[in-house]
Amino acid sequence: MGSTVSFEGSITALAIFMLVNSITPGPNNLMLLHGSIKRGFWACRWHMLGITLGVTIMLWLSYWGMAALVVSFPAVMLIIKVLGTLYLLWLIYQMAKTNFTTIINEALLQEQQRQQAGESVIEVKKSFGELPLSFGQALLFQWLNPKAWTMTVVAPSLAMFHAGKPWLDNYALLAMCAIINLLSISCWAAGGHWLRKLVHLPRVMRVIHALIVLMTLYCALTLWL
């Protein structure tokens, strides 16, 4: 006899929850905005995929019971907050010393030269932590991102299938959450790519840059509010 599949919660509630948490400002989206202004939308593709896969893995583990483990040991979340805050502060420093206008002009010039020469786009070598992040760095950052933890810990309580196989029961929900997350963060990368058009307005770019840095700093501070 096959196991009986039962469902509790609301798929609609889970979808709305994932959408709101994925598309609202947070460390991931602000980093993508910053990185796409510097290098363009396509250069952020691995950063976006790393975020989505990282969040999906954490959500998958939460359906296994990781959510209960984190709730049972508040010290775990405290450690995550401390490490996440330290990383964000270091990242804010790296962001603050960036010269948007110079980097964008250099990137656009290189793209134009490659197009004229008929060459494919070559990945720009970056130092560790430089935005946009690599696939692996973006994936690992989710484990230090309290917003990602909050999202993945709460999600299983909103909708869950039960059939005795937690690693298979909720694959459809995981796929839905992954698609919502990827589409949401892509909006921020697309927005950053569009803002590159303002590179001929250095003062405007400096204001945008300052706002991104301040918003990221605010995200770091709100972890403790």
Render pLDDT for 29-41 as a digit per residue (tens, 0 to 9): 999 999 999 888 9
pLDDT at res. 118: 65
pLDDT at res. 129: 67
3-state secondary structure of 5: coil
pLDDT digits (tens, 9 = 90+) for 164-210: 665 567 899 999 999 999 999 999 999 999 998 888 888 888 899 99
The CA distance from 24 to 38, in Å, is 21
Residues 131/31, Cβ–Cβ less than 8 Å = yes
pLDDT at res. 131: 87
Q: What's the average model confidence in pLDDT over 150-176? A: 84
Q: Which two tokens stand for residue 9?
A: 């919660």
pLDDT at res. 10: 92
Mean pLDDT score of the chain, rounded to an integer? Answer: 86
Q: Which residue has the higher pLDDT, 6 or 57?
A: 57
pLDDT higher than threshold 60 for residue 80: yes
Residues in the chain: 225
The CA distance from 204 to 191, in Å, is 15
The CA distance from 206 to 222, in Å, is 24
- Name the burial class of residue 85, with classes exposed (0-12), middle (13-18) and buried (19+) by CB atoms within 10 angstroms of its CB: middle
Overall pTM > 0.85: yes
Task: Please state, for a pLDDT cut of 70, what percent of the chain lies above it.
Answer: 88
Q: pLDDT band at 64, cuts 50/70/90? A: confident
